[in-house]
Structure formats: C-alpha cells, structure tokens
C-alpha cells in the first residue's frame, strides 16, 4: 500500500552516534545514549551497543525499532546455528547474515522508514585469531576496516578525532592501552555532541555516560558506569 501524498510525514525516532576501534586489548565499541525524532529528544538512555553472542557486538545507528528487531533476529539465528550444528557460525557467515537483514529491509528504506546503518565487531577464533570490525551501508554492503569505524549523524566529527589520534597521536589506535582507548572514545563522542544536536555525548548535568563494551579473546565486557564516569572526570572533563 502506498501512502497518500497528503498524509503527514512519519516522525521516526533515530539513534546516533556509534564508534568502534581496535586497540591493544581487542575492540572497543561505544555509543552515546540519545535518541531523537526531528528536533526532539525522545530518550536519553538508549542502548545502541548490543551483544549478539559471546564474542560479537552489533552497534546501531538509525531507527531503533528496526535495528533492535534485526539484532534479535541475528542473535536467534546464531543461537539456532550453534545448537543445530554444534559449532559457532563462521565470521563470514555472521557478517553475511546481518547483510541479508539489511537487504531485506531496503524496501522500507526506499519508502523513507526504518533505515539502519550498523557496526559489527567480533573475534575470529577459526581464522587468524584476531578481532574483526565491519561497517555497513543501508543496502547491506559490508566493509571490513583495519582500525576504526563510526556511523550516525555525529560520525564525521568522531572519524576526525580517530583519524587524528591514529596518525598524529602519541600511539596508533592498535597500540593504545585500555585506559587510553576509553578516554579517546569519550573525547570523540563529546566532540561530536558539540556540533551535532542528535548526539548526546556525555550529559554532565544528568550524569549520563556512553555505553562502552570491549571484545577480547575472553568475551565481552561492559564497562561499569562508575568506571566510565571516573575516567571522564580525570582525563576529559
């Protein structure tokens, strides 16, 4: 069914901004907490960094309703494969499964609803034993990156910060310690929030901090908010 041209435009909720980069301990994935609809802040505690399995994370930028459903379908698909085949799905299989979900959603994107542009990070035990990092476009094309990725409305500022640090910082991103990687993620999101109203960054008044998760050989670890707050206070604020 095609909507009437006289019908009011649907005000969609959007979630931005997300980033991920490799450091000495694995992959850090972070996302601010703000969700917007037009110029309205709909929610300031959205979870955009989602655990798919024990070593895989999907971070979302775009329409949360669609993205969260994709994450649930992907999680269940990987569980079904693991239980029926008695082994983990390959990294390439996981990457293509998310690509298919995005392609299947593209009809809605053409209608102006449900766009999702995610980042996917995982650990490749069967291959080279290294962390793998991908970003996608709305049509489902996936691109593996060697160092970092960022999507969402605040991503231009984030990419600028990560590019600068990787090329002219004291250490390249893959050599950063965890403490320095967390500081960099906080600085990047806080920088994006200065120029992009859809990015929450760090809400100093309400004490709302980004969600940060780390993937390593041991699995996924979510950094406690108190640890993030202390790091922000000592190295960013």
pLDDT in tens, the chain (237 residues): 444 455 455 678 887 899 999 999 999 999 999 999 988 999 999 999 999 999 999 999 999 999 999 999 999 999 999 999 999 999 999 999 999 999 999 998 998 888 999 999 999 988 778 899 999 999 999 999 999 999 999 999 999 999 999 999 999 999 999 999 999 999 999 999 999 999 999 999 999 999 999 999 999 999 999 999 999 999 998
Cα angle 155, 162, 224 (rounded to 5 degrees) comes to 85
C-beta neighbour count of 103 within 10 angstroms: 14
Q: Which of 13, 16, 17, 191 is catalytic?
A: 16
- Beta-bridge mates of residue 150: 19
The residue among 12, 29, 56, 58 whose CA lies nearest residue 158 is: 29
Whether the bond between 121 and the residue before it is cis, its omega within 30 degrees of 0, is: no
Strands 35-37 and 219-222: unpaired
Separation CA 16–CA 152 (nearest Å)? 5
Residue 162 has which token pair? 């990560």
- Beta-bridge mates of residue 122: 56, 132
- Residues with Cβ within 8 Å of residue 76, at least 6 apart in sequence: none
User: In terms of C-beta density within 10 A (0-12 exposed, 13-18 middle, 19 or more buried), how is residue 42 classed?
Assistant: middle
- Which DSSP state fits 201? -
Residue 198 has which token pair? 């859809």
Cα angle 129, 131, 133 (rounded to 5 degrees) comes to 140
The answer to whether residue 16 is catalytic is: yes
> How much is the pTM?
0.93
- The reply to whether CATH 3.60.20.10 applies to domain 14-235 is yes
- Beta-bridge mates of residue 19: 30, 150
DSSP for 96-134 reads HHHHHHHHHTHHHHHTT---B--EEEEE-TTTTSSEEEE
pLDDT of residue 2: 47
The residue among 64, 126, 136 whose CA lies nearest residue 100 is: 136
pLDDT of residue 1: 43
pLDDT of residue 5: 52
């Amino acid at each position: 069914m095609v909507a009437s041209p006289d019908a009011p435009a649907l005000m969609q909720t959007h979630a931005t901004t997300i980033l991920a980069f490799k450091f000495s301990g694995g992959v850090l994935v972070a996302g601010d907490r703000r969700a917007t609809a037009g110029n309205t802040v709909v929610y300031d505690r959205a979870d955009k960094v989602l655990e798919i399995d024990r070593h895989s994370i999907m971070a979302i930028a775009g329409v949360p309703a669609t993205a969260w459903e994709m994450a649930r379908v992907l999680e269940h698909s990987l569980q079904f494969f693991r239980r029926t085949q008695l082994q983990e799905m390959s990294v390439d299989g996981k990457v293509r499964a998310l690509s298919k979900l995005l392609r299947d959603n593209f009809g809605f994107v053409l209608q102006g609803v449900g766009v999702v542009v995610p980042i996917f990070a995982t650990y490749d035990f069967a291959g080279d034993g290294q962390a793998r990092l991908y970003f996608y476009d709305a049509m489902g094309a996936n691109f593996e990156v060697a160092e970092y990725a960022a999507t969402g409305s605040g991503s231009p500022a984030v990419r600028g910060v990560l590019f600068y640090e990787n090329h002219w910082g004291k250490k390249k991103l893959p050599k950063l310690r965890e403490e320095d990687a967390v500081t960099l993620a906080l600085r990047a999101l806080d920088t994006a929030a200065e120029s992009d109203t859809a990015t929450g960054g760090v809400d100093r008044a309400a004490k709302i901090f980004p969600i940060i998760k780390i993937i390593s050989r041991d699995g996924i670890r979510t950094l406690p908010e108190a640890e993030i707050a202390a790091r922000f206070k000592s190295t960013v604020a």
